[in-house]
Structure 1
Amino acid sequence: MLGFPIFKSEPLFSFLIILFIFMFNTVQNMLIIIITRTDHHLQKPMYFFISNLSFVDILFGVIILPNVMMLILSHKNTISFYGCMTQMYFFLGIGVTESILLALMSYDRYVAICNPLKYTVIMTSDVCFSLVFSCWTGGFLSVILPVIVISQLKYCSNVINHFFCEISPVIQLSCWDIYWLQASFTILASVVIFGTFPIIGMTYLKILWNILGLQSLRSRKKTFSTCASHLIVVFMYYSTITFMYIRPKSESNLELDKIISLFYSVVNPMVNPCIYSLRNNEIKKALRKLLK
């Protein structure tokens, strides 16, 4: 596994940077999970979804970054075949889960802002649990077949030009014609992306329309600020995964792929807690209470 050139030229610096990112991502997301599950003021559907998003972001780091640190410290820079397939399976499963979860979170905000009187009736604890359970189950069941197919390919090379086992750089090592395989994966990715992103877009459009009807300028600014920050994160996440999984692949794109992969696998999990949680006044109060 080649990783980035800096891994070989500056191994100690690379290791320390990735270690810091891993610890920072894990600690802030763990704090959010602890706060949302222990503070009785935060026993609401919104924070239930946020705690699940934090768990997804932790898993992104756990699946990728420890292995990257091991590769930097090791002179072999290798990963076993089954280890690679396992990493690919969990990464894809978590990616699909996050896409569905972001759609659920946008729907939750839509109900809370546009139908506040019906919110507690629609978003009951049983409904929220069922939605999240379906989200996790659907995410991991949907990627079983693609990973099994990839594991059965015949490979002519064992050099992966990436920092983890992403689909594109792995299947490009196959000796077989992978055109139809790539087309199938593109269709599957399109189903996930275009099945969840329009839901997010429509719910936030309705939310913004509802905001314009608010009489209080202060309430309008507060709600708009929250929605705008959410949309920035969603746009960054979906633009990068769309670029990665739907566009045509070629050998010349591999270096660019590694940079794009950094955004949805490393940057987004670090940004999500700040946008969805640490800017929230209720979570800030709960965090201060916990620290005291």
Structure 2
Amino acid sequence: MGQRNETEVWEFMLMGFSNHPRLEPILFIFFFLIYAATMLGNIGIIVLATADPHLHTPMYFFLKHLAFLNLCYTTAVVPKMLFNLISSRKTISYHLCITQTYISLFMGATECILLTVMAFDRYIAVCHPLRYTIIMNHQVCMRIAAASWTISFFSTVVPLFLTLPSLCGPYIINHVFCEAPVLLHMICTDTSLNELLMLLGAAGTQMLPFILILVSYGCIINAVIKIRTTSGRQKAFSTCSSHLTVVTIYYGTGMFMYMRPKSLYSPENDKLISVFYAVINPMLNPIIYSFRNKEVKESLMKVFGRNALAKVQ
């Protein structure tokens, strides 16, 4: 399989988990259930945060954006992966492969920025509670969200579009989906420039936001230490625990995948890492970040309570 002429669409062999054929039916069921849970959880967050006035706060405003991002990311990856798990012809078109690469970069960078914005939101809530509603008003949140998506687009999709060179055969991708580190192995020319650009992009969209998150939490810890009561400290830390969990999981896997030289790539390990942050992490986010929160539980009780009452009547 390859390019017959310059106008025809390329088709790649996407190996996925084909080296474990006996596991593929089990993996299909496993990933299908994860995808269903991801869709249900993230759509649920968007619906609840939109319908319940008590959840019309900056934190849940940005959570809606994070949930929408998770839906886009996992939908770009999982359906094709599921199809290939039960298909004897495990291929992916050139255009879908490039689309997955763009989306994975774009959504990954946007999530980094949104997590940074959420850390700033927690900083304002803990360190400046009396000014919180003034600083984080709806107009400010709208502008921050728009800036997050715009900056991510112009720092990932545009540079990749302008610098992605021709790809060489054999057109075999030993991975579960297409993303930038995988395509480096298929570039015909020297990849030093591409690796440098990817490293610089990762530094701008991962390391800089990560440093800002650390600074925010440094200020939060300093403020919490000054709180005299134990209950006050626990309340302050509880508002940040979910966010810290998500940051640790996402940044740990993302930095390992995108901020290392090409020589350290390992196909089998990379598959597991990519599955974790592109498939499993979008499922975990609603559980870690929202369904543990008291406000979401109360909102769910209201919804189910109304439905139960309607059925009785």
TM-score by length of 1: 0.94
8 Å contact from structure 1 (residues 85, 151) kept in 2: no
2:66 to 53, 63, 77: 53
**Aligned-partner residue type, residue 104 of structure 1:** V
1:186 to 187, 199, 203: 199
Task: Give runs of ≥4 in structure 1 deviating > 3 Å.
Answer: 149-152
- 1:116 maps to what in 2? 129
- 1:196 maps to what in 2? 209
Please list every run of 5 or more consecutive structure 1 residues that lacks an aligned counterpart in the other structure.
none
**Aligned-partner residue type, residue 8 of structure 1:** P
Aligned: 1:66 with 2:45: no
Quickly say closer, same or farther: Cα 1:56–1:252, change in 2 above 3 A: closer
1:4-36 Cα shifts (integer Å, max 9, x gaps): 246622332121111100000110111111111
**1:79 shift after superposition:** 0.5
Aligned: 1:94 with 2:111: no
Moved more, 48-57 or 208-217: 208-217
8 Å contact from structure 2 (residues 15, 174) kept in 1: yes
Aligned: 1:17 with 2:39: no
In 1, the alpha carbon distance for the partners of 2:197 and 2:160 equals: 12
Moved more, 8-17 or 147-156: 147-156
- 2:263 maps to what in 1? 250
**Aligned-partner residue type, residue 32 of structure 2:** L
Spell out the pairing of 1:201-280 with structure 2 (5 A cutoff).
201-250=214-263, 253-280=266-293
1:106 to 107, 113, 119: 119
**SS of the counterpart of 1:11?**
helix
**Aligned-partner residue type, residue 181 of structure 1:** N
**1:283 shift after superposition:** 1.0
TM-score by length of 2: 0.88
- 1:34 maps to what in 2? 47
8 Å contact from structure 1 (residues 157, 174) kept in 2: no
Quickly say closer, same or farther: Cα 1:11–1:154, change in 2 above 3 A: closer
Aligned-pair identity (%):
37
Aligned: 1:175 with 2:188: yes
**1:150 shift after superposition:** 6.0
1:70-107 Cα shifts (integer Å, max 9, x gaps): 11122111010011101111111111110000000110
Spell out the pairing of 1:144-163 with structure 2 (5 A cutoff).
144-149=157-162, 151-163=164-176
- Which of the pair has more CA radius of gyration? 2
Please list every run of 5 or more consecutive structure 2 residues that lacks an aligned counterpart in the other structure.
1-13, 306-313
Moved more, 5-14 or 201-210: 5-14
Moved more, 19-28 or 238-247: 238-247
**SS of the counterpart of 1:279?**
coil
In 2, the alpha carbon distance for the partners of 1:198 and 1:151 equals: 29
8 Å contact from structure 2 (residues 152, 205) kept in 1: no
In 2, the alpha carbon distance for the partners of 1:93 and 1:217 equals: 41
8 Å contact from structure 1 (residues 240, 260) kept in 2: yes
**SS of the counterpart of 2:203?**
helix
1:79 to 85, 92, 106: 92
8 Å contact from structure 1 (residues 85, 147) kept in 2: no
8 Å contact from structure 2 (residues 17, 24) kept in 1: no
**1:251 shift after superposition:** 6.9
